Amino acid sequence: MDRRSPRNLSETILVQNPALGAYALWQFGLAYQANGGRQAILPLSFLVLPIIFHKATQEIVSATHKSSGLRLFVGKLSEKREILLALHDRTKLLRELSFESIVLGEAAALLSLDEKHALIRANTLSEDMKIPKIPTRLKWLTPACEKLGYWFSSHTDHQVISMLKVEL
């Protein structure tokens, strides 16, 4: 069976949209910035949706404590080697959705891009903006994105890419 088959993707990805992706990237960015005090490089944002919109990896993220870190998460992924190796393919498969989510996030003022340095920033909301609401069935989304932001910010960009065995 083709790893890119919709049967391998969670229900979320089958009904996902760039708005949900923008929200996820915003939550990721807020956590990244809060832990590292810096903005994420743009290529790292293309890893978020392939991780959280894939049922098996999302479940591993949710089951891993924030304090356990990226190394333990990758260790758990490595126990199911095919899941870790498929991340690169999913990243390519979801590239367009990630890009559309970034564009929508920027249009909605959730995200800002520094094109010169290839950085993405999660913006704090102004007083007249409300925090976007997500459906109860997606209550796992915010903590999953926050964990990824925290984990990624605790390592160099090269370490994240190397540990996850992806090429960006």
Residue 10 pLDDT level (bands cut at 50, 70, 90): low
Q: What is the pTM of this model?
A: 0.88
What are the contacts of 32-35 at 24+ separation with CB within 8 A? Answer: 32/122, 32/149, 32/150, 32/152, 32/153, 33/121, 33/122, 33/149, 33/153, 34/149, 34/150, 35/149, 35/150, 35/153, 35/154
The helix (run of H) or strand (run of E) holding residue 122 is strand 119-122
What's the domain range around 158?
A: 17-124+136-164
For 37-43, what is the mean pLDDT?
95
- Domain annotation covers residue 141: yes
Question: What is the per-residue pLDDT across 136-162, written as a single tens digit (0 to 9) for each?
Answer: 888 999 999 999 999 999 999 999 999
> What is residue 72's predicted lDDT score, i.e. its pLDDT?
96
Share of the chain above pLDDT 90, in %: 73
Question: What is the per-residue pLDDT across 69-116, written as a single tens digit (0 to 9) for each?
Answer: 999 999 999 898 888 889 999 999 999 999 999 999 999 999 999 999
Question: What is the per-residue pLDDT across 85-96, written as a single tens digit (0 to 9) for each?
Answer: 899 999 999 999
- Domain annotation covers residue 157: yes
Residue 17 pLDDT level (bands cut at 50, 70, 90): confident
- Domain annotation covers residue 5: no
Question: What's the structural domain count of the chain?
Answer: 1
Question: What is the per-residue pLDDT across 48-61, written as a single tens digit (0 to 9) for each?
Answer: 999 999 999 999 99
- Domain annotation covers residue 131: no
> What is residue 3's predicted lDDT score, i.e. its pLDDT?
47
35 vs 1, higher pLDDT: 35
- Domain annotation covers residue 69: yes
- Domain annotation covers residue 6: no
- Domain annotation covers residue 129: no
- Domain annotation covers residue 92: yes
